[in-house]
Amino acid sequence: MVKSLLIAVNEKLSCDDLGKLLLRLAVGGLMLFHGLHKLFGGVGFISGMLVEKGLPGFIAYGVLVGEVVAPILIIVGLFTRPAALVLAFTMIVAWLMVGMGETFALDKVGAWAIESLVYFFIGSLAVAFLGAGRFALGKAPAWR
Between the two ends of the chain, the Cα-to-Cα distance in Å is: 41
Give the model's pLDDT for residue 13: 84
Nearest one of 46, 41, 77, 81 to 63, comparing CA atoms: 46
Distance between CA atoms of 133 and 84, rounded to whole angstroms? 14
Distance CA 141, CA 132 (A): 13
**3-class DSSP state of 57:** helix
Per DSSP, 104 falls in state: T
pLDDT at 11: 86
Of residues 50, 61, 62, the one with CA closest to residue 87: 62
How far apart (Å, rounded) are the C-alpha atoms in residues 106 and 89? 23
Question: Is pLDDT of 143 > 80?
Answer: no
| pLDDT for 115 | 95
Distance from C-alpha of 123 to C-alpha of 24, rounded to nearest angstrom: 9
Asked if the model's pLDDT at residue 92 lies above 70, the reply is yes
Give which of 70, 72, 106 is closest to 90, Cα–Cα: 70
| pTM for this prediction | 0.89
Contact 80, 73 (CB under 8 A): yes
**pLDDT (tens digit per residue) in 34-73:** 999 999 999 999 999 999 989 999 999 999 999 999 999 9
